[in-house]
Amino acid sequence: MTNKPTLAIVCGHCKETVIAHAHYWQVLPEDDIFEHVEVSVSCNNCFKLSILTFVFFPRAQRHTELQKTLLAELESGIPISAKPGRQNPSLTRLLPRGAPYNELSEAWNEAERAYSRNDMPTLATIAYRRVLEGAAKYLDNQGADKKVPLGPRMKSLKENGIISQELYDLTSQALEFGNAAAHESKPLKQADARVARDLAEAFLRQAFSVPRLLLDAKEALEARANEVDDDEVPF
pLDDT in tens, 163-220: 999 999 999 998 887 777 667 677 899 999 999 999 999 999 999 999 999 999 999 9
- Answer yes or no: pTM beyond 0.85: no
State the angle between helix axes of 121-139 and 190-204 in degrees (0 to 180), rounded to the nearest 10.
20
Q: Which residues of 49-71 are buried (b: 16+ CB within 10 A; e: fewer)?
A: ebebebebeeeeeeeeebbeebe
Is the confidence at residue 88, as pLDDT, over 60? Answer: yes
pLDDT in tens, 109-131: 999 999 988 888 999 999 999 99
State the angle between helix axes of 165-183 and 190-204 in degrees (0 to 180), rounded to the nearest 10.
140
Is the confidence at residue 1, as pLDDT, over 50? Answer: no
User: In the prediction, which pLDDT does 118 show?
Assistant: 82
Is the confidence at residue 52, as pLDDT, over 90? Answer: yes
The mean pLDDT value of the chain amounts to 89
Beta bridge partners of 39: 25, 52
Phi, psi (degrees; rounded to nearest 5) at 93: -105, 150
User: In the prediction, which pLDDT does 128 show?
Assistant: 95
User: In the prediction, which pLDDT does 143 show?
Assistant: 60
Q: Which domains, and CATH codes, for the chain?
A: 6-88 (no CATH), 101-224 (1.20.120)
- What's the average model confidence in pLDDT over 71-99? 92
Per DSSP, helices labelled H in the chain are 61-76, 101-116, 121-139, 150-159, 165-183, 190-204, 210-226
Residue 86: in which H helix or E strand, if any?
Answer: strand 86-88
